[in-house]
Amino acid sequence: MILVAIGANLAGPDGEKPLTTCRAAVSALAVMPGLRLDGVSRWYETEPVPRSDQPNYINGVARLERIPGVAISPESLLASLQSIEARFGRRRGELNAARTLDLDLIDMDGLVRDAPDPILPHPRAHSRAFVLLPLLDVAPDWVHPANGRTGPTLAGEVDQSGIRLLDP
């Protein structure tokens, strides 16, 4: 199971709203070679973390599965995710800056590694409600590969204020 967090809080290159961009990003994930889209969470509106004067984010999580017999490395998957971000106007710069699209590789088949990029599981996913709540929509039995704690346990320990489920 591969889990990709999706987020946006700025209009896309053609002026599309962040939710539209996030949905289009799911469509781009669905056609990635060697992978099959297995689920998409509900969408959440979330305050920026750390708190700032940025617009609120739209966040969700996609669950992907490898197509049997196809090899995909974490590095190639990260490069593909960054390519999708660039197509939607993502400009890398300041840490925690507002963005047109953010795709974070959260978990890749339970792989644990500290280097090289991408670090897996994502080093901050377990402490972010805006990742954990949508993650549980698509992987309710998820267990953090490094610390062995369940997703529901982790979600119960994080501040969930500033997060609102959008209408389904």
- Which domains occur in the chain, in start order? 2-165 (3.30.70.560)
| Active-site residue set | 90, 99, 102, 104
What SS3 string covers the chain? CEEEEEEECCCCCCCCCHHHHHHHHHHHHHCCCCEEEEEECCCEEECCCCCCCCCCEEEEEEEEEECCCCCCCHHHHHHHHHHHHHHCCCCCCCCCCCCCCEEEEEEECCCCECCCCCCECCCCHHHCHHHHHHHHHHCCCCECCCCCCEHHHHHHHCCCCCEEECCC
Which tens digits make up the pLDDT trace of 36-72?
999 999 999 999 876 678 899 999 999 999 999 999 9
pLDDT tier, 96 (very low <50, low <70, confident <90, very high otherwise): low
Supply the pTM of this predicted model.
0.94
